[in-house]
Structure 1
Amino acid sequence: MGDIRQSLLPRDVLSAAKELLYHLDIYICNLVQSGRQPPQVDAKTLELVEEFILHAPKDRNAPARKMSALQELQLLEIMCSCFQEQSRDTVRQLMFSALFHIQGNQADESRMVLLGKLVSMAVAVGRVPILECAATWLQRTHRVYCVRLAQVLVDDYCSMVPGSVPTLQNIHSMSPRFCCQFITAVSTLYDLSSEELVPPLELLQMIVSWIQEDPRLVLITFLNTPLSGSQPISSLDVTPLGSLVRWCVKAPLAYRNEKKQVLANRSADSEPDPRPLFSALHLSVLQVFMLLPNVLNEKGLFGRLALLQMESVAALTSDLSRLLDQADKHAHTSAAGAQVPPQLALDRLAQALQVAMASGALLCSREDLRPICSRLPHNNLLQLVLSGPVMYYNNIHTPPLAYSPHAAHSPIASHAPLPTRSPHTPLTSHAQYPAQPFMSGMPFAFRPGH
């Protein structure tokens, strides 16, 4: 495609971009039809994309070509139509990659700005092919860029335009794959490490409602991704379970002060207390863990693949220890109930560890956990989990993967299952751990009122 550059130079910026998209579509269609494996867009074509769509000047001394706001809107509409009209998913995915794959150069900033605007428009106008391509992009891209894209959507639909949250909520039905990746990205972004990194209430309500409606939503990426071992360190986790556990455990401490019970610039009178939402989320996450034994057994992965990493648990306990130290220092500002949030956080940690080990999501022994939890204050439930009972309860009654009271409408039903692997295929370096027991006769200390 390098020979079309001279024909694009005299054109105005919008016309040149539109013409290049047209030629790019034809070029990728021919590339796919040629049967070349893997089909790969050549470097000269990528340079044309950067010059005429992302407007990165070929010559550093040349002035950058810029679009007006109206021209940019027209380009986004053209791109939406281009992806919508292309019926072959392979072509769409290659085209999306040619436009937005992070190259590690000066064009990446323009690439991210355009991507954020395109995906935001796709959400607004219901362009499912773009959301499906964006889901794949989120799976393959460094997490730093993934959380940037998530931040754009949160800003657009939860902050800037009042009443636009239902539009974003529709991604659950439009593209469950994108919805799952979006949950993973935002739960990575908002780590509750500061007041600014607490998820907006509208976002929290949305995520809780999604998972309550279908707990298996957060497993879609895992179910539809051939796993060869471990995910690249730089990518998003294959499920958001680790990040959601972190939300639930840290929430009682992040909201321990009245000023943190409401979002910035909003009054306590107009904003509901978010703590019950975190309680509901905690219960939903435990229900997702309860689904895993059947899921992992069906795939031959039980005891061989950890969906909750020990590194994530260690980081969480370290954060929790620090937050509890801070809570101790401020305990005098509260009355006798000052210890409720710390104990609730520890209860939730104990419950999550207990259920994750029993379900095969966390591959470790109690001996592995004890040093990690050694700095935490005493908590009865946590102590029971770490010491372990004598009796095992391995008969975990969970519905099979295909079962759902709404199976016909389940988003997972529309996706191909994870390919079955040989039982001898090495997947991870983890030792095979047995399912860890539940506490015999020990109910969860779940307190929905807190």
Structure 2
Amino acid sequence: MSQFSGPEIKHTLRKLEFPVCSKEALLKIGQLTCGRVPSIKHMDLALDLMAEFIFHEVDRRGNKRTLPLTTMQEIQLVEVLYDYFNSVNNDTARNSVFLSLFSGTTAIIRSGILSKLVSMAIGIPSHFILISASTLMQQLGNTSPNSYRLANALVKDYFVLMPNSSKQLHLVPRLAPQFASNFLTAVADIYFADVKKGPLIFPPATLLETITDWVSENTQLCVAAQQTQSALPPGAIAMEATTPFAGLLKWCILAPIYRQTSEIYGKLHLGLIENMLEIPHSNPPRAIFAQHLIISIGNICRYAVDLQNRSRKSDPTERQKMFLEDTALHLCLDRFAQAIQIALSVNCVYGNIGDMINQLKQLPFNKLMAIVINSYKNKT
């Protein structure tokens, strides 16, 4: 079939029933996309094969299909994809096909199949698929809408619909640490989001516990995606991974003021600090972006204003005392100050650090935070 023209290949595949046609089309797509320098003609043909024979988005004339794949057909397709990617030992070839299938203008449409495939790769462990999924998340941006959808689907599968099966995820950091790191970055953005984005939601207890175990048991997990270069097709530009430090620290910092009193947040905070202390030195730093580290400021300031408003009718002295003695607020600020100090001490912060310090001055007074701010000013 490799010697046939495009029309001949399509004609041959149309004689096959689903999902056999999908299986054969994948083999041909691999040949077309994994050449040393795939031609535009080959890539266009590969995209046509994906649309018609893999995802059944168009008919033989190229017109959009009105009926999507049935649930049974989706299951069959996921099984075909699972078997195919596990059969490709070459990382570059596997990633080339994976990126072609699940990125580009059709990524949103195909996100459901991607989520089911990655979920299957966790339930029936597949190092190959998880590494390719990690590469995809990193190339699209692991805080992008597509990565967000994937992370949200995995949370739903393993922590909402089947919370007792979350033990499967405990294997992931050892099986594919890069994927685990990129998943953490994506999932961290789902919870404790800025209130301007909508109602605040908190992570399920089983998710919080699993993530805390991951971080506590592997002190280099948070930078794993930055330590391994993804195997990309020729000409592709590798995207830098965003570490999960800022997003997960946000959980720990904001938990007290939102009455999330689980001790797990304290354990997660300690695990993140230990991970920060193990960040490999790089020049320039690249582990934590300064503006990401201070995303909690707005939430904390709104809490402080609300606290003052609730005590407005009190005596001024009593109001100030109430403000200073709010244990939730000061636990929040203590954790924030600890994170800032450790990040600065290990020189892992990049971006405008001076602006970050100035923004920290907006926060309610906290002794530890004041020490951190003054320490930085004395060194500059």
How high is the TM-score relative to the length of structure 1? 0.71
The 5 Å alignment of 1:416-427 reads none
Residue 286 of structure 1: how far off its partner (Å): 1.5
Match of 1:109 in 2: 108
Q: Do the aligned partners of residues 379 and 208 (structure 1) sit closer, same or farther apart at CA in structure 2, a change above 3 Å counting?
A: same
Q: Do the aligned partners of residues 81 and 61 (structure 1) sit closer, same or farther apart at CA in structure 2, a change above 3 Å counting?
A: closer
Q: Distance in 2 between matches of 1:378 and 1:133?
A: 46
Partners of 2:182 and 2:241 within 8 A in 1? no
User: Which deviates more from structure 2 when the two are superposed, residues 121-130 or residues 362-371?
Assistant: 362-371
Q: Distance in 1 between matches of 2:354 and 2:91?
A: 48
Unmatched tracts of structure 1, length 5 or more = 227-234, 256-260, 262-272, 393-432, 434-450
Q: Do the aligned partners of residues 390 and 126 (structure 1) sit closer, same or farther apart at CA in structure 2, a change above 3 Å counting?
A: closer
Partners of 1:13 and 1:67 within 8 A in 2? no
Read off the aligned partner of 2:113 and give its amino acid letter: L
- What does the per-residue CA deviation read over 1:129-174, in whole Å, with 9 as the maximum and x for residues that have no partner? 1111001111101411101100000000000124111112221222
The 5 Å alignment of 1:423-434 reads none
Residue 69 of structure 1: how far off its partner (Å): 2.3
User: Aligned with 1:199: secondary structure?
Assistant: coil
Partners of 1:57 and 1:65 within 8 A in 2? no
Read off the aligned partner of 1:122 and give its amino acid letter: A
User: Aligned with 1:388: secondary structure?
Assistant: helix
Residue 367 of structure 1: how far off its partner (Å): 5.3
Read off the aligned partner of 1:132 and give its amino acid letter: I
Q: Distance in 1 between matches of 2:13 and 2:39?
A: 29
Residue 94 of structure 1: how far off its partner (Å): 1.0
Partners of 2:245 and 2:272 within 8 A in 1? yes
Partners of 2:115 and 2:150 within 8 A in 1? yes
Partners of 2:88 and 2:94 within 8 A in 1? yes
- Are positions 1:214 and 2:215 aligned together? no
Q: Do the aligned partners of residues 331 and 123 (structure 1) sit closer, same or farther apart at CA in structure 2, a change above 3 Å counting?
A: farther
Which residue, out of 237, 245, 253, partners 1:241? 245
Q: Distance in 1 between matches of 2:132 and 2:41?
A: 16
Read off the aligned partner of 1:52 and give its amino acid letter: F
Q: Distance in 2 between matches of 1:189 and 1:62?
A: 33
The 5 Å alignment of 1:40-51 reads 42-51=43-52
Partners of 2:179 and 2:225 within 8 A in 1? no
How many aligned residue pairs are there?
A: 352
User: Aligned with 2:69: secondary structure?
Assistant: coil
Higher helix proportion (structure 1 or 2): 2
- Are positions 1:360 and 2:347 aligned together? yes
Partners of 1:83 and 1:129 within 8 A in 2? yes
Which residue, out of 295, 308, 314, partners 1:315? 295
Unmatched tracts of structure 2, length 5 or more = 231-238, 313-320
Read off the aligned partner of 1:42 and give its amino acid letter: M
Q: Distance in 2 between matches of 1:373 and 1:200?
A: 30
User: Aligned with 2:242: secondary structure?
Assistant: coil
Residue 365 of structure 1: how far off its partner (Å): 8.7
Match of 1:382 in 2: 369
Which residue, out of 339, 342, 346, partners 2:329? 342
Partners of 1:369 and 1:386 within 8 A in 2? no
Q: Distance in 1 between matches of 2:373 and 2:64?
A: 65
Between the two proteins, what is the percent identity of the paired residues?
A: 26
- What does the per-residue CA deviation read over 1:184-222, in whole Å, with 9 as the maximum and x for residues that have no partner? 111122234456531111111011101111111111112
Match of 2:87 in 1: 85
User: Which deviates more from structure 2 when the two are superposed, residues 304-313 or residues 92-101?
Assistant: 304-313
- Are positions 1:24 and 2:29 aligned together? yes
Q: Do the aligned partners of residues 40 and 305 (structure 1) sit closer, same or farther apart at CA in structure 2, a change above 3 Å counting?
A: farther
Partners of 1:192 and 1:251 within 8 A in 2? no
Deviating 4+ runs (over 6 angstroms)? 37-40, 335-338, 389-392
Q: Do the aligned partners of residues 5 and 326 (structure 1) sit closer, same or farther apart at CA in structure 2, a change above 3 Å counting?
A: farther
Partners of 2:192 and 2:200 within 8 A in 1? no
Read off the aligned partner of 1:186 and give its amino acid letter: V
Q: Distance in 1 between matches of 2:123 and 2:219?
A: 25
Match of 2:137 in 1: 138
Q: Distance in 1 between matches of 2:29 and 2:353?
A: 55
Residue 360 of structure 1: how far off its partner (Å): 0.2
Partners of 1:218 and 1:240 within 8 A in 2? yes
User: Aligned with 2:19: secondary structure?
Assistant: helix
Read off the aligned partner of 1:208 and give its amino acid letter: T
Residue 350 of structure 1: how far off its partner (Å): 1.1
Q: Distance in 2 between matches of 1:60 and 1:42?
A: 16
Match of 2:317 in 1: none
User: Aligned with 2:168: secondary structure?
Assistant: helix
Residue 237 of structure 1: how far off its partner (Å): 4.9
Match of 1:203 in 2: 207
Match of 2:174 in 1: 173
Partners of 1:184 and 1:237 within 8 A in 2? no
